[in-house]
Amino acid sequence: MPLKIQNVLVCDAVDKSCVDLLQEHGINVTYKLKLPVDELCKEVKNFDAAIVRSDTKITAEVLAAGAGSLKVVGRAGAGVDNIDVTAATSHNVVVLNTPGGNSISACELTCILIGALARPVVPAGQSMKEGRWDRKLYSGSELYGKTLAVLGLGRIGREVGIRMKTWGMRVIGYDPITTEAEAKAAGIEKMTLEQIWPLADYITVHTPLIPATRNLISTETLSKCKHGVKVVNVARGGIIDEQAVLEALESGKCAGAAFDVYPEEPPKSEVTKALINHPKVVATPHLGASTSEAQVRVAVEVAEQFIALNGTSPKYTT
Ligand code: MLT
């Protein structure tokens, strides 16, 4: 028997197209953004479904509070990091996400950050705003002929490979699942991690955060890399050991780093703050999925899944 979703609580800012689509299908939508956990626990009792992005954490406590009423949690994004899936399963709560909707946006931000590490556009732009004209200070290096290592060859990693290859980079990559043929189709030479470390000029990570990928870039792995390697993380905070990168930036082992994601968001730790403020670091506040196109895509995808759970097919008005 299909689930009946009647009342949805939207906890994080999702595009209006999600709300419109749900309402067109007779589903009531209430927006209560960024509720403190005690208020969220009180609210979830009144809803049979909730929609989140990254900010709201659907913890075991929240799921226990919603037990008996909450049936579905949808994440307008890839992965389900901020939802306690084990607790959800024990309360028979269905967890949904939108794995593909953000891929192009996350890929494009990665490419932009790789570019920003090659050419210091961020500090140079700031210097102009401060009224300076320091051409000598802001010289960079070409990406052409350099080697980019893509760790994680899922949708986003492969799209990054395709784009950076057209810039004349040699693209090498690692993934335990993606086949050599799939990697090759994206112009990526699949290798082992041990083969990759000494070859890479740039390393970009595109894995989920799981025990096997936590601190994938560490003091140990950085020691196997070229002097002056540059690293990028638009995936999940924790895949790159921030303390290790900070030390490598100081020693010169790492010549630049770009971060869009952090172990804690917004960042509070001294290490993360030191990294963000480091002159060789470009930092952005988790913007991988923050484009108008991606937000419409994930909003529509999550709404469509809710509608399908109700046993109806989405209808569209133009
Ligand atoms: C994602 O996992 O797709 C993004 O991190 C979602 C977001 O930006 O909130």
Mean pLDDT of the 71-81 span: 95
**Interface predicted TM-score (ipTM):** 0.92
Six token digits for residue 102:
């953000």
pTM of the predicted model, to two decimals? 0.94
Q: What is d(CA 272, CA 259) in angstroms, rounded to the nearest whole number?
A: 10
Which ligand 1 atom minimizes the distance to the CA of 79? 2
Q: Mean pLDDT across the chain, nearest whole number?
A: 96
Q: What is d(CA 297, CA 242) in angstroms, rounded to the nearest whole number?
A: 32
**Model pLDDT, residue 312:** 77
Q: Is the CB–ligand 1 distance for residue 200 below 6 Å?
A: no
Provide, rounded to the nearest whole percent, the portion of the chain with pLDDT above 90.
96
Q: Is the CB–ligand 1 distance for residue 78 below 6 Å?
A: yes
Give residue 77 CA to ligand 1 midpoint distance, Å.
4
Sketch the domain layout of the chain as residue ranges: 7-99+292-309, 103-283
**Model pLDDT, residue 69:** 95
What is the end-to-end Cα distance of the chain in Å, rounded? 31
Tokens 């009792």: give the residue.
Answer: 45
Which pLDDT tens digit goes with each residue over 98-157? 999 999 999 999 999 999 999 999 999 999 999 999 999 999 999 999 999 999 999 999
Give residue 298 CA to ligand 1 midpoint distance, Å.
9
Fold matches, 7-99+292-309 and 103-283: yes
Mean pLDDT of the 49-77 span: 96
Annotated catalytic residue 286: yes
Give residue 213 CA to ligand 1 midpoint distance, Å.
18
Please tell me the residue having the least CA distance from ligand 1 atom 2.
78
Q: Is the CB–ligand 1 distance for residue 99 below 6 Å?
A: no
Annotated catalytic residue 155: no
Q: Which residues of 157-168 are buried (b: 16+ CB within 10 A; e: fewer)?
A: bbbbbbbbeebe
What are the DSSP E strand ranges found in the chain?
Answer: 7-10, 28-31, 49-52, 72-75, 94-96, 147-151, 170-174, 189-190, 202-205, 229-233, 254-259, 281-283
Mean pLDDT of the 25-34 span: 95
Q: What is d(CA 236, CA 244) in angstroms, rounded to the nearest whole number?
A: 16
CB 232 within 8 A of CB 205: yes
Q: Is the CB–ligand 1 distance for residue 53 below 6 Å?
A: yes
**Model pLDDT, residue 3:** 82
Instruction: Kindly indicate the confidence band of residue 2, based on its pLDDT and cuts at 50, 70 and 90.
Output: low
Q: What is d(CA 63, CA 92) in angstroms, rounded to the nearest whole number?
A: 10
**Model pLDDT, residue 233:** 98
Look up the CATH superfamily of 103-283: NAD(P)-binding Rossmann-like Domain (3.40.50.720)
Which pLDDT tens digit goes with each residue over 5-23? 999 999 999 999 999 999 9
Instruction: Kindly indicate the confidence band of residue 1, based on its pLDDT and cuts at 50, 70 and 90.
Output: low
Please tell me the residue having the least CA distance from ligand 1 atom 8.
289
**Model pLDDT, residue 318:** 44
SS3 label, residue 254? strand
Out of 236, 242, 301, 304, pick the active-site residue. 236
Fold adopted by 7-99+292-309: Rossmann fold (3.40.50)
Which pLDDT tens digit goes with each residue over 186-237? 999 999 999 999 999 999 999 999 999 999 999 999 999 999 999 999 999 9
**Model pLDDT, residue 96:** 96
